[in-house]
């Protein structure tokens, strides 16, 4: 099992709801690919950490709260978008989606 970090909107995986950037899940490699194929947006923990290196943890916690109604910083938004771009690339590579 490896740790993966959620970077999408709302997804339901294995009966659990993921609704906040930064939530973690432990999946086998096979289940990770199944989750990607099903439309969920997860990144391996090390890839998420790469995108959020140097980002203040308290801001990540604040912006990742599903009940946060403010406007996240442009830095946060750009980092989330970079994560989502990487998810799309992984999905295309691992799930053979064209």
Q: State which residues form the domain around 22.
A: 2-94
pLDDT of residue 35: 94
Question: Strand, helix or coil at 57?
Answer: helix
- Whether the full predicted model's pTM is greater than 0.85, yes or no, is yes
Backbone angles phi, psi at 59, to 5 degrees: -70, -40
pLDDT of residue 97: 52
Q: How many domains does the chain have?
A: 1
Please check whether residue 48 is in contact with residue 83, taking contact to mean a CB–CB distance below 8 angstroms. Answer: yes
pLDDT < 70 positions in the chain? 97-98
pLDDT of residue 69: 87
């Amino acid at each position: 099992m490896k740790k993966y970090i959620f970077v999408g909107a709302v997804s339901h995986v294995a009966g659990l709801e993921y609704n906040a950037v930064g939530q973690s899940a432990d999946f086998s490699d096979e289940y990770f690919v199944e989750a990607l194929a099903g439309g969920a947006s997860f990144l391996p923990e090390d890839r998420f950490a790469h995108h959020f290196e140097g980002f203040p943890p308290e801001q990540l916690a604040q912006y990742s709260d599903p009940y946060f109604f403010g406007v996240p910083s442009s830095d946060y938004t750009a980092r989330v978008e970079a994560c989502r771009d990487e998810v799309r690339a992984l999905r295309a590579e691992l799930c053979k989606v064209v």
